[in-house]
Amino acid sequence: MRRGKPKSRRALDLGCAVGRSSFELAKKVPEVVAIDFSRVFIRAARDLAKKGSLRFPLKLEGDHRQIATARAPSGKFRKRVCFRTGDALHLPDLGKFDLVLAANLLDRVRDPKRLLEKVLPQLVRPGGLLLLTSPYTWSEEFTPRSRWLKNSFSRIQKLLHRRFRMVRRKNLPFLLREHRRKFQLTFADATLWLRRG
Ligand SMILES: C[S@@+](CC[C@H](N)C(=O)[O-])C[C@H]1O[C@@H](n2cnc3c(N)ncnc32)[C@H](O)[C@@H]1O
């Protein structure tokens, strides 16, 4: 009998925006639930899932835009993703997942402690994985100052350690395009956690 890593059947992409990472997950996992607060993002993601591509105005400079096309993977993978609007801090019962991705969400929610301590442990099945990435860009626009995680990584470890064991950590660079000649380079702290049994 061949032994290997157990296959993931269900994945959740929390704070999925327009679904780029959800579609990537769907290449590996047969059922992906993808949730975002923004109706506009979910509408765009559903459009992408339906049609496979989406035209959008890409800023070149000033008011000058050019129509560009975003493309999603083949229909077989797109059909695996169910996009829903929702608040990560107040989710309906979604059942348990083999893998939960919360990419760059932590510093965008009103109560990051609640997300780590209450929400995420409920969503990952024992033996399942949680992938967290965050640049820890705390801002009062999203999170009241009193709820910022000071010394973020240590706080995350303290809040997760009863339910999760960290199995990997790396710096994950990402580039945000503002216009043709301006980009912002950020390094997210990416940590992978195994749910204790
Ligand atoms: C910085 S973006 C990250 C998007 C994507 N995960 C990525 O890494 O490119 C944060 C996303 O989380 C969503 N978001 C913010 N608060 C949320 C909440 N309480 N529940 C669900 N989604 C939320 C925003 O609408 C936005 O799409």
Using CA of residue 73, residue 76, residue 80, residue 83, what is the dihedral sign? positive
Q: Measured in angstroms, how far is the CA atom of residue 58 from the centroid of ligand 1? A: 21
List the one residue out of 71, 68, 85 whose CA is nearest residue 34: 85
Residues with CB under 6 A from ligand 1: 15-17, 21, 35-38, 41, 87-89, 103-105, 108-109
Q: Which of 13, 21, 25, 37 to mutate to test the pocket of ligand 1 (most atoms within 8 A of CB)?
A: 37
CATH code reported for the domain at 10-178+188-195: 3.40.50.150
Of ligand 1's listed atoms, the one at least distance from the Cα of 16 is 6
Q: Measured in angstroms, how far is the CA atom of residue 108 from the centroid of ligand 1? A: 7
User: 3-state secondary structure string, 89-138?
Assistant: CECCCCCCEEEEEEECCHHHCCCHHHHHHHHHHHHEEEEEEEEEEECCCC
How far, CA to CA in Å, does 195 sit from each of 77, 98, 118, 120?
27, 9, 13, 10
Strand partners, 175: 185
Distance CA 89, CA 35 (A): 11
Q: And the tokens for 180? A: 């043709």
Per-residue pLDDT of the chain (197 residues; tens, 9 = 90+): 445 566 889 999 999 999 999 999 999 999 999 999 999 999 999 999 999 999 999 999 999 999 999 999 999 999 999 999 999 999 999 999 999 999 999 999 999 999 999 999 999 999 999 999 999 999 999 999 999 999 999 999 999 999 999 999 999 999 999 999 999 999 999 999 999 99
Q: Measured in angstroms, how far is the CA atom of residue 162 from the centroid of ligand 1? A: 26
Distance CA 153, CA 6 (A): 29
Domain residue spans of the chain: 10-178+188-195
